[in-house]
Structure 1
Amino acid sequence: MTKIAFLFPGQGAQSVGMGVDLLNSYPQLKERYFNKADELLGISLSNLMTNGPQEELTLTYHAQPALLTVSAMITELLNENGIQANYTAGHSLGEYSALVASGVMSFEDAVTAVHKRGLYMNDAVPAGEGAMAAILGLESEALKNVTDEISSGGDLVQLANLNCPGQIVISGTKAGVEKACEAAKNAGAKRAIPLVVSGPFHSELMRPASGRLDDVLSSIDMQNATVPVISNVTAEPVVSAKEIKPLLVEQLYSPVLWEDTVRKLIDLGVDTFIEAGPGKVLSGLVKKVDRAAKIYPVYDMETLNAVIETSKEWD
């Protein structure tokens, strides 16, 4: 029996034109997703998604609702074509797309919440003051020793995304991340790559945003998940709305346990992963965790049709 997990990308996956190919084939979805997001947020998000500029789309309070909008639309198309998930998981912001797919939040509530989440994250650390970088080829324990030492010297930096073997993202102050990149290379890391993001996500610097996010999430009517969601914070399946809300708040300043999430899904019997959203970043990470995993990214008509065709062979 095929066991399927839907995976949803986070910030960094956004690109101008995302979702447009699908809208050309399914114009009825424009009203339900693109136009609805514009209406709820009071900004022309759909124009940014369609025409850019990329710099504006990348701002966290634009990227978050934009990615959620496209992922929710793709989920509907997969479901309409008989492809249903046994589990869902999302990378950071993608966890909200997973919660929409699992029936915990409505699209309308989620797109409003992540827009506010982005605004609060931006307020916590204005763009340019924090940074993130991907460290390749250093074990998590060795890298944690590096970040702990630099943080103790007054420049906060910590592990933020444990993505796959040999790839960990660090986050913190600009100075802390720069120092950690140098120290990591001295400790044996192969590369240190600065990331194009607008804030130090999943670090203690995001804590000021957590109380405000808590207030927003408390005002949303969350349902228990119809499909279990793997939490970023614990890498364990969760169904209870009562448990999900505090985990979403904690997720703001806690590491994303993505490698553990993929391993948990495999332990639960998942043999087929579908990445529902722009790009193929998560597909690459899944392959680095388990080369044998079957993974299908879906982001345009060609990839949607390919997975629909393949799904006819699943039992």
Structure 2
Amino acid sequence: MTATAAFVFPGQGSQFPGMGHELNRLGPQARALALRAEDITGLPVADLMTCAPAATLADPEIAQVLVLVWSLAALDQLRQKGWRPCAVAGHSLGEYTALVACGSLDQDTALSLVACRGRAMAHAARNRPGGMAAIVGLPAQTVQALCTEASTGPDVAVVANWNSPRQLVVAGTVSAMERVIAAATGAGALRARRLAVGGAYHSPLMNEAHARLRDRLGGVPLDVPRIPFVSSVTGRHVTDIDAYRGDLLAQVIAPVRWSDTVRTLTERGVGTYIEAGPGRVLGGLGREMVRAARHLTTWDALHRAAPPEALPGPDTGTHSASTDLEQRTTT
């Protein structure tokens, strides 16, 4: 295993009350970025990051902008400390930060697009209410079958996040979610419970958001990535940036293929994964899938302040991804 490092960026669900205090630790440029985001999005970003309760932060219109700002600030600080990734990827929303990191998108455009994305998804969630549930410890084929069985009449359930071989998230109507949870528990799942999210993201219930974003994304210029970029929509390297535009649009209704994304990065020789953003959900999932690799939070990497090739041996942390998944998902 080589010591090459990839930056991975989290999505919605990694926000938390008081996250502005940590943002301030990233320095004056981070605070300036928050103010810039206020001008572009019309949201009081700094106040929301510092004072908003968890219920307010769960609104996708708010959460997505805050996570993007925090992740962009982390990206800037990691670069200043000398980190240079060999590849980048993002979990759903995190893909917009990855596009900035690989040079395909500028910060201002990313902020504008994510604000639009959050509004579209919030509107769709209000018009077609639904939910999400984490299923841990069942084979993927079993979970897919349970979703099919629960999808009757107007009800729908689909696999929304392929987070790891043992952790999947399903999304759909509330009644379908309850049936999937009950069936998964009966089938021997280690965990099967609803997640505290405001909608059925990455499911057909987001079709309205998909339609609202079509024109907005259609005219956005995307440059060819300067470093390898792996899409969580396909789990593969992006080789045709124009074709990828369709994947980026489909993201709100398509499942997140995070396990495939990590597999692709690992096959490239990635030995260090830096979660450039708030939280440590992706690090927990990474430890589950690639135990031999080193998995660092933003703060871990900033405190080491060294280029990847100078780092010591693999990380041996035992943080459980399951614990985070009970409380959060990323979209």
With the shorter chain as reference, the TM-score category is over 0.9
Q: Residues 243 and 314 from structure 1, CA distance in 2 versus in 1: closer, same or farther, beyond 3 angstroms?
A: farther
Which shifted more, 175-184 or 11-20? 11-20
Provide the identity percentage.
37
Which shifted more, 265-274 or 46-55? 46-55
What's the CA shift for 1:152? 3.5
Aligned partner of 2:12 in structure 1 is 11
Which shifted more, 181-190 or 157-166? 181-190
Aligned partner of 2:303 in structure 1 is 306
Q: List aligned pairs for 1:6-155, cutoff 5 A.
A: 6-24=7-25, 26-31=27-32, 33-126=33-126, 129-155=129-155
What's the CA shift for 1:128? 8.5
What's the CA shift for 1:22? 4.5
What's the CA shift for 1:312? 6.7
What's the CA shift for 1:28? 3.3
Q: Residues 220 and 166 from structure 1, CA distance in 2 versus in 1: closer, same or farther, beyond 3 angstroms?
A: same
Using the alignment, how far apart are the partners of 2:20 and 2:284 within structure 1? 20
Q: Given residue 19 of structure 2, which amino acid in structure 1 is its aligned partner?
A: M
Aligned partner of 1:163 in structure 2 is 163
Using the alignment, how far apart are the partners of 1:48 and 1:92 within structure 2? 22
Contact 2:3-2:309 within 8 A present in 1 as well? no
Q: Given residue 255 of structure 2, which amino acid in structure 1 is its aligned partner?
A: P
Contact 1:127-1:198 within 8 A present in 2 as well? no
Using the alignment, how far apart are the partners of 1:277 and 1:144 within structure 2? 31
Post-superposition Cα deviations, 1:209-228, rounded to whole Å, max 9, x if no partner, equal: 11221211123222111122
What runs of 5+ residues in structure 2 fail to find an aligned partner? 313-331
Using the alignment, how far apart are the partners of 2:146 and 2:115 within structure 1? 34
What's the CA shift for 1:254? 1.0
Using the alignment, how far apart are the partners of 1:276 and 1:12 within structure 2? 14
Aligned partner of 2:269 in structure 1 is 269
Post-superposition Cα deviations, 1:215-256, rounded to whole Å, max 9, x if no partner, equal: 111232221111222111210010433022111111111111
Contact 1:203-1:255 within 8 A present in 2 as well? yes
Post-superposition Cα deviations, 1:160-202, rounded to whole Å, max 9, x if no partner, equal: 0011121100001111111111111122212212111111011
Post-superposition Cα deviations, 1:34-90, rounded to whole Å, max 9, x if no partner, equal: 001111111202210111122112200111011011101111111112101111111
Using the alignment, how far apart are the partners of 1:310 and 1:81 within structure 2? 8
Q: Given residue 308 of structure 1, which amino acid in structure 2 is its aligned partner?
A: A
Post-superposition Cα deviations, 1:116-164, rounded to whole Å, max 9, x if no partner, equal: 1111112112189210010011111011011011114541010000111
Q: Residues 127 and 70 from structure 1, CA distance in 2 versus in 1: closer, same or farther, beyond 3 angstroms?
A: farther
1:125 alignment partner, SS class: helix
Using the alignment, how far apart are the partners of 1:260 and 1:24 within structure 2? 33
- Structure 1 length normalisation: TM-score? 0.93
Using the alignment, how far apart are the partners of 1:117 and 1:307 within structure 2? 35
Q: Which 4+ stretches in 1 moved above 6 angstroms? A: none
Q: List aligned pairs for 1:146-295, cutoff 5 A.
A: 146-295=146-295
Using the alignment, how far apart are the partners of 1:117 and 1:168 within structure 2? 23
Contact 2:9-2:277 within 8 A present in 1 as well? yes
What's the CA shift for 1:14? 0.1
Q: Given residue 185 of structure 2, which amino acid in structure 1 is its aligned partner?
A: K
What runs of 5+ residues in structure 1 fail to find an aligned partner? none
Q: Given residue 89 of structure 2, which amino acid in structure 1 is its aligned partner?
A: A
Using the alignment, how far apart are the partners of 1:204 and 1:24 within structure 2? 39
C-alpha RMSD of the superposition: 1.8
Question: What is the count of residue pairs matched by the alignment?
Answer: 311
Using the alignment, how far apart are the partners of 1:25 and 1:293 within structure 2? 26
Contact 2:26-2:73 within 8 A present in 1 as well? no
1:116 alignment partner, SS class: helix
- Structure 2 length normalisation: TM-score? 0.89
